Structure 1
Amino acid sequence: MNLHRLLAARADAGRPVRVTLIGAGKFGAMFLAQVPHTRGLEVACIADLAPDRARRTCAGVGWSDDLIAATVFTDDAQAAIARPDIDLVIEATGSPAHGILHARAAIRAGRAIVMVNVEADALAGPLLAAEARAAGVVYSLAYGDQPALTAELVDWARACGFTVVAAGKGTKYLPLYHGVTPDTVWQHYGLQPEAARAAGMNPQMFNSFLDGTKSAIEMAAIANATGLDVPDDGLAFPPCGVDDLPHVLRPRAAGGMLERAGMVEVVSSLERDGRPVFRDLRWGVYVVLEAPNDYAAACFAQYGLKTDSTGRYAAMYKPFHLIGLELNVSVLSAVLRHEPTGAPHAFRGDVTATAKRDLRAGEVLDGEGGYTVWGRLMPAQASLACGALPIGLAHHARLRRDIPAGETVLWSDVDFTHADSIMHDAIATRRAMEAGLLSAAGSFRLPERAAVD
């Protein structure tokens, strides 16, 4: 609650917080829109594959000509990270392999890193965060995105002495969405393809939100940051509005749908027949908590919390998230408090490549939101036991065998012979995490299953 005061002190001392932004897409643009209105915060450098486009983005979100002229625009991310005049790096590219590369470069340079790139975090975040801690560097999830906001609610509940029963977010979901491709995605958003193209909307990126991949990635990030478990059979996406959260998201033994207490789950804003859920949570996040005693349960009722019929389970939620418009909180927390707004501390959830249709030997996988695979959430131990291929590495990999629709793609099913050096580095990083090794800071151990609270 003191970030603004701390930032004002830095500004008054002539020591603004200075950052490098890598990737000036939608999330980056929303962050950039707030920079001119945040005294004491400066973007020293923006690295993007298209620097001129990044300049236009800054102009489009309200930057003055003078501010644009004072900012360095480059396509050299490594040079942007290595600048001696910055405090923090924001990684917002969305590429898992490049995210790992940039995070490690920031750690080597002694810079705090805010990982907007949740795809990279789901792929290797536990290892990257451990490397950062060993180097005395902050590695943080991005406030404004749903994983960090959910982790905040979990931390609030635990700090208050409550048992966390479930936590997660809402989304628009139907089972048929797992098979949607970039060619068919816009009909489910109610858009014409021509209008989407005119707006510069990337169909594969938007499809990763629709087909369940992004939800799985974000729940893996939450599980790894909070220690919550992931469902043994993957996300169920139960239809559920905010009033029914404590009824639906309680353990089966108590009448709900959870395997046990202490789980992540995503709730759908659509009933299975396509009707809208009443008071849905499509844009928000939630935590379901359990009263530790009768007195606390009575207080739930006295202060108007929505509870289940027993009064013991209650929910708190945030109905919206503003992604990049809220990112300042992570930046300032990392630099001024030296604290992340959520960071992985264990490897509990993994996201595995799953065939969208019958795939044939010789086909090349095209990653998140594409035509070939979608990402399924699995317990990390189960993923490692079966040798599942992480969705973050299902890029430009050629299949060695036929894969039936709905089947998990395995490491042994793919050939990375023609992958570039950045992908090979990402593969090596992921393999090191799977082996429980951390070359720069001793050993990294996969956690045994433990009680959440």
Structure 2
Amino acid sequence: MNLATKLKQRAAEGRPVRIGLIGAGKFGSMFLAQLRTTTGLHLLAVADLSAERARQAMATTGWDVDAVQASSFEDARKTGRTHVTEDAEALIRADGLDVVVDATGSPAAGIRHALLSAENGRHIVMVNVEADVLAGAYLAERFRQAGLVYSLAYGDQPALVCELVDWAETCGFRVVAAGKGTKYLPSYHQSTPDTVWGHFGITDEEARAGGMNPQMFNSFIDGTKSAIEMAAIANATGLAAPRDGLLFPPAGAHDLARVLRPREAGGVLEHAGMVEVVTSLERDGRPVVNDLRWGVYVVFEADDDDARAAYTRRCFREYAITTDPSGRYGALYRTVHFIGLELGVSVASAALRHEATGSPTGFRADAVAVAKKPLAAGEMLDGEGGYTVWGRIMRAEDSLAAGALPIGLAHKVKLVRPVAAGDVVRWDDVAIEQTEAVRIRRAMEAGMRQLRCESNN
């Protein structure tokens, strides 16, 4: 609660937290908008594949680019201005840098930037949840060994859910479920970039005018982003992934505690302690009352013993906590998230407290590629939000047992055998190069197998 005070103190001492932002897309731009007005933060440099795009993002978000642009990293450090570059690796190595923010969205790039950050003594805020789910447990361990912070991005839903889980457990509540809301119907799994704008209620022309990428936005509709984000939460909190994939039950904010109970208690969960996503649409397409489409939630219970929990349940009633009909299960929720506008919380927490706003503590859940249609040998997979596959959550042990291909690696790889619609794509189904991202992912898988062997012996 005193991050702003600490930032002001750093500013007064002439020691602002120096940040390197990689990726000047929508999330990066939202961060730029608030970074400019946050005392104690200094944007040392911004890197993007297009330096002109980075400058345009700064101008769009209120920066006087001509006035603040520095000629070099050293010039930026000495003058408090900002260097714009297309060289992300040089940014990470720049003297005086405290925190790297990866907002690229590319799993391979995110892994590369994280490894370089750890090598060069930089904390990292991983906006790139695709990279986190692909290899986050491995990367986070590298940072822990180096005495550095690897953090999920506050403002994005996974970090906000981690905060709610932490709140509940710190209060002594048992977490029953945690997750987010979205807009979902079962047919959305077959959505493609050609059909996506109809689900958002906008025209192709409006989307083009807004600079909106149809494949990226389609990943929010076809279930992939939900799977990735819930896997990130499971890996950070220890909550379990549903064995048969996300259920996406319809539930409004007032109904969270009733719907997201274990089945034995009248809810939809396999058991207590799970991640799940609620939809803002009933299965017939009608809107859910008090929907949580843009929000996050946690469902909790006071105790698993009715006698001991009686007093706490009474307090739930007295203070109008949202509960199920029994009064045993309660819910806390937030109806919105501010995306990159809130990212400064992660940056300040890493630099000033050496604490992450959520970080993987193990490889517990995965997001794997599932065929949207019958796929033929020789066909090229096009990754998250594309025409060929969507991402489904799986428990890590089930993913490894099935040899499932992570959705983060299902881009620009060729099938060597056919895959039926609805089937999981497997490593053996594709011809894949031994890239750095593949090697790191395989190393994480090997580490998990070793841990399982050791625990069984």
Normalised by the size of structure 1, how large is the TM-score?
0.95
| Corresponding position of 2:196 | 185
DSSP-derived class of the 1:205 partner: helix
Structure 1 stretches of 5 or more lacking a match? 418-422, 438-442
**Offset of residue 273 of structure 1:** 0.8
Any idea what the Cα deviations from partners look like across 1:166-200, whole Å, max 9, x if unmatched?
Answer: 00000000001000000111111111111111211
Structure 2 equivalent of residue 347 of structure 1: 363
Return the alpha-carbon distance in structure 2 between the equivalents of residues 11 and 72 of structure 1: 20
**Contact 1:54/1:73 (8 A) holds in 2:** yes
Distance 2:452 2:174 in 1: 24
Aligned residue type for 1:284: G
1:42 matched residue in structure 2: 42
Give CA deviations for 1:181-238 in whole Å, capped at 9, x if unaligned.
0011111111111111121100000000000000000000000000000001000000
- State the identity as a percent: 63
Verify the 8 A CA contact 1:365 1:396 in the aligned structure 2. Answer: yes
Q: Is the 8 A contact 1:46 1:73 kept in 2?
A: yes
RMSD: 1.4
Give me the whole-angstrom Cα distance separating, in 1, the residues matched to 2:4 and 2:171: 25
In the TM superposition, 1:333-372 aligns within 5 A as 333-372=349-388
Tell me the secondary structure at the aligned position of residue 445 of structure 1.
helix
Quick one: which amino acid aligns to residue 15 of structure 1?
R
C-alpha distance in 2 between matches for 1:355 and 1:375: 9
Give the counterpart letter for 1:307 in structure 2: T
1: CA distance, partners of 2:453 / 2:238: 9
Deviation at 1:35, TM superposition (A): 1.5
Amino acid at match of 2:338: L
Q: Offset of 1:45 from its aligned partner?
A: 0.6
For residue 67 of structure 1, report the CA deviation from its aligned partner: 2.4
Q: How far, CA to CA, are the matches of 2:432 and 2:132 in structure 1?
A: 21
User: What's the counterpart of residue 9 of structure 2?
Assistant: 9
Aligned to 2:306: none
Residue 103 of structure 1 aligns to which amino acid in structure 2?
A
Distance, in Å, in 1 between the alignment partners of 2:402 and 2:147 is: 35
Please state how far the C-alpha of 1:71 moved relative to its aligned partner. 1.4
Question: Is 1:233–1:378's contact at 8 Å kept on the other side of the alignment?
Answer: yes
Q: Report the Cα distance in structure 1 between the residues aligned to 2:408 and 2:18, rounded to whole angstroms.
A: 30
- Using the TM superposition, give the Cα deviation of residue 446 of structure 1 relative to its aligned residue in structure 2, in angstroms: 5.8
Distance 1:320 1:303 in 2: 23
Give the 3 Å change call, closer, same or farther, for CA 446–346 of structure 1 in structure 2. farther
Cα distance between partner residues in 1 of 2:294 and 2:122: 32
Q: CA deviation at 1:381?
A: 0.4
Gaps of 5+ in 2: 71-80, 304-308
Query: How far apart are 1:448 and its partner, in Å?
Result: 10
Q: Which consecutive segments of 4 or more residues in structure 1 shift more than 2 A?
A: 67-70, 443-449
State the one-letter code of the partner of 1:445: L
Q: What is residue 111 of structure 1 aligned with on the other side?
A: 122
Within 2, Cα distance between the matches of 1:53 and 1:444? 45
Write the distance in 1 (CA, Å) between the matches of 2:453 and 2:3: 33
1: distance between equivalents of 2:13 and 2:389? 52
- Equivalent of residue 377 in structure 1, options 365, 382, 393: 393
**Any conservation in 2 of the 1:142–1:327 contact (CA below 8 Å)?**
yes
Deviation, structure 1 residue 113: 0.3
Aligned partners of 2:207 and 2:375: how far apart in 1? 28
Give the 3-state SS of the residue equivalent to 1:209 in structure 2.
helix
Superposition deviation, residue 447 in structure 1:
10
1:67 alignment partner in structure 2: 68
Residue 201 of structure 1: aligned partner = 212
Partner of 2:287: 276
Letter in 2 for 1:95: S
**Residue 219 in structure 1 maps to residue 230 in structure 2:** yes
Q: 1:315 aligns with which of 325, 331, 339?
A: 331
TM-score (norm 2): 0.94
Partners of 1:116 and 1:56 lie apart in 2 by: 21
